[in-house]
Amino acid sequence: MTSNDPQSFTFNAGAIKPFECLSEAWNLIKSEYWPLFAVSIVGGLIAGFTMYVLFGAMVCGIFTCYLRKIDGGPVVFDDLWTGFKYLGTSALATILFVVPIVVYFVALFVTIYSPLITAAVVGKNADPSVIFGVFAAGLAVDVVIAVIMTCIHSLMIFTFPLIVDRKLSSLDAIKLSAKAAMKNIGGVAGLIGINFLLVLLGQAAFCIGIYFVIPVLTATSLVAYRKVFPKIQIAQ
């Protein structure tokens, strides 16, 4: 199916039940958890080592592997490399997804160190109220940026799956994802909440646990995607 097919632009509203998606995702992937773990880690490392230049390609490749499993097929590690054919198609989506993250971490770094720099410059004459004011202002900036980043990512939650599954351009995928997310806003918010809790649990497990919940996070999001955008049945 191509982006010109009318079915590519239809979706279900109010279709996401977060805990149901989580349970279904685990049941679907537990038999091939380790291959999916390998796909996620290798794809993530490649994206990171390339300074996120290949982020879109790797995400598309990872999602191809997971969607194959969710749709009833086997996990094929080589599907990861099919993401390269979406490198150009996913470029705009990659920029809009990655830039807010970079801005957030830069702001976080600056605001963490700005009170220390202020105290060092002022020295013994440092006024605690000034230091606290700088810290509070920085914290407020971090919160605002975090909220904006979360809103952008929430609206883009279906963007990369749509690029892979419906063969849409970045712009079409972003617009359709935003429409579908708004029509499933409660479910999307629930997914974000579940993902946040899973991340906290992963970090509690000596921080390395975060890597082991990645397949569950990814599968849960893609099961939710399938609830909103069911697999198109191709006529024989």
pLDDT in tens, 37-93: 999 999 999 999 999 999 999 999 999 999 999 999 999 999 999 999 999 999 999
Return the pLDDT at 43.
Answer: 98
Return d(Cα 102, Cα 91) in angstroms, integer.
16
Q: What is the pTM of this model?
A: 0.88
pLDDT over threshold 70, residue 119: no
pLDDT tens digits for range 98-109: 998 888 888 878
DSSP secondary structure string for all residues of 126-190: --HHHHHHHHHHHHHHHHHHHHHHHHHHHHTTTHHHHHHHS---HHHHHHHHHHHHHHTHHHHHH
Q: Which helix (H) or strand (E) holds 223?
A: helix 209-228
Residue 136 has which token pair? Answer: 């509070």
CB neighbour list of residue 182: distance below 8 Å, 6 or more residues apart: 155
208-233 per-position pLDDT tens digit: 889 999 999 999 999 999 999 999 87
- Residue 26 parent element (H or E): helix 18-29
pLDDT digits (tens, 9 = 90+) for 144-200: 888 888 899 999 999 999 999 999 999 999 999 999 999 999 999 999 999 999 999
**Which pLDDT does position 125 carry in this prediction?**
63
Residue 40's pLDDT is 98
Name the one residue in this structure whose structure tokens are 């054919």.
85
Dist CA 98 CA 92 (whole Å) = 10
CA distance 39 to 42: 5
